Amino acid sequence: MQEKQETPSKQSSASVLKSLSDRRALPMFPGVISKLDSALNAPSVSIDEVVSILSADLNTFSRIMKSASGFRYGSQPPKDLGEAVMRLGFAETRALTFAVAYTHSFEKPKNFSMATFWMHAFVSGLAAKEISAWLYRHKKMRVCDAPTAFLLGLAHEVGCLLLDKLNDEAFGRVVDELKTSQESQASLEHKRLGTTHAVIGAALLKYWGFTDNMVMAVAGHHFPARLPLAQQPIADMVLLAESMAGYMGFDNGVDKATPGVLNGFVTERMQVIGMSEADFLRLSERIKDALAEEDWMELASSTGNT
């Protein structure tokens, strides 16, 4: 007789974050961003102070210089970090700085590849930027600005890292079960752990001071239709960015995607916002170009090996 598996009680986001905090396992908001925000929010922004903050970290310096050398900014690379910041603008510079600091804020998970996870995150971030721009150009929907879209795509699966840290044995069983189950990752997490990576990830972003719209976009990106109507487009953007990464062969390392396949739920949400499969494929090609230009995979791979 098969032993009945006990269903866990629902875990509140607050209790999960407290448990991680008590164990000194809760990642803190990147200190470099706090310093940068103080400089950017001053009555008069000093570019020298911004450069001083950013140049203290080689990874941040390299990422900003590489991004500012993209073809959209001209044929010549910036002569120094100050010029790179001025090319990108403060919002984009902040998003890139967060990306570097964020990827170094977590220890390696026990149950999935860190490099695979970050590759999915970076592709999703670039996809979210492209989708937000597409929605504005073609549907006159201003969901969010490009840096915000990038951050949402980058951070939407952070709950996977938290659940692995919270209980790596239980989460490992979820990862194993996903290899053969037809259920979604969120469904199995809720059954086995009493919460989901989307809910816990959103709780961390709220704890870090992200806006309510950004928090709800992450919390509801697997079921945008359940959110208030005004918040559905930004959640759809995150869902489609995640799906585009999987379509291109970049899954999150936990739930294996099938490259080149769009599931029915995603196509339903595409219809809601008026995106065709041809639109989806064109955006995927743009993301491939962006990946090649800025070489985000290099950062993902190096982070995954540290």
Q: Where are the beta strands (DSSP E) in 23-179?
A: none
Which pTM value belongs to this model? 0.92
Count of domains in the chain? 2
Residue 105 has pLDDT above 80, yes or no: yes
> Does residue 191 sit in the same domain as residue 226?
yes
Report yes or no on 4 lying in a domain. no
**Are 149 and 244 members of one domain?**
yes
Residues 138 and 66 in one domain: no
Domain check: are 131 and 267 in the same one? Answer: yes
90 contacts 45 by C-beta, under 8 angstroms = yes
Same domain flag for 144 and 286:
yes
Give me the pLDDT at residue 212, please: 96
- Which pLDDT score, from 0 to 100, does residue 151 have? 96
Region of residue 30 (phi > 0: left; psi between -120 and 50: alpha; otherwise: beta): beta
Q: What is the mean pLDDT of residues 231-253?
A: 97
Same domain, 52 and 197: no
pLDDT, position 297: 78
Summarised one tens digit per residue, pLDDT across range 13-41 is 999 999 999 999 999 999 999 999 999 99
Residue 222 lies in a domain: yes
Interval 265-293 mean pLDDT: 93
The verdict on residue 178 lying in a domain is yes
CB-based contacts of 62, cutoff 8 Å, min separation 6: none
Does residue 202 lie within any of the structural domains?
yes
Give CA–CA dist 43/66, Å, rounded: 29
| Residue in 236, 18, 2, 253 with CA at minimum distance from that of residue 127 | 236
- As a whole number of angstroms, the distance between CA 185 and CA 199 comes to 13
For the chain, first and last CA: distance in Å?
A: 45
Q: Report pLDDT for 132.
A: 97
Instruction: For residue 93, give its domain range.
Output: 31-104
pLDDT at 2: 45
pLDDT tens column, 107-141:
999 999 999 999 999 999 999 999 999 999 999 99
| Integer Cα distance of 222 and 184 in angstroms | 10
Domain termination residue (choose one: 104, 131, 146): 104
Name the more confident of 256 and 303: 256
Last residue of a domain, one of 44, 69, 104: 104
Residue 77, domain member (yes or no): yes
Model pLDDT for residues 145-198, shown as the tens digit of each residue = 999 999 999 999 999 999 999 999 999 999 999 999 999 999 999 999 999 999
For residues 73-93, give the mean pLDDT. 92
Q: Of 81, 104, 127, which residue is a domain's last? A: 104
Distance CA 94, CA 53 (A): 11
- Tallying the residues shown for the chain, one arrives at 306
Task: Answer for the pair 80, 64: CB distance below 8 angstroms, yes or no.
Answer: no
Let me know whether 267 and 194 are in one domain: yes
Residues 144 and 269 in one domain: yes
Residue 1 reports pLDDT greater than 70: no
148 and 41 within one domain: no
Give the amino acid at 287.
I
DSSP per-residue letters across 17-58:
HHHHHHTT-SPPPPHHHHHHHHHHTSSS--HHHHHHHHHT-H
Per-residue burial over 76-114, b = 16 or more CB atoms within 10 Å of its CB, e = otherwise = eebeebebbbebbebebbbbbbbbbbbbeebeebebbeb
Cβ proximity of 132 and 237 under 8 Å: yes
DSSP helix/strand/coil, 276: coil
Residue 228 shares a structural domain with residue 212: yes
* Mean pLDDT of all residues in 287-291: 88
Alpha-helical segments (H) within 248-305 = 264-273, 277-294, 296-304
Whether 184 and 232 map to the same domain: the answer is yes
Q: Is residue 10 part of a domain?
A: no
Q: What does the DSSP 8-state code read for residue 226?
A: G
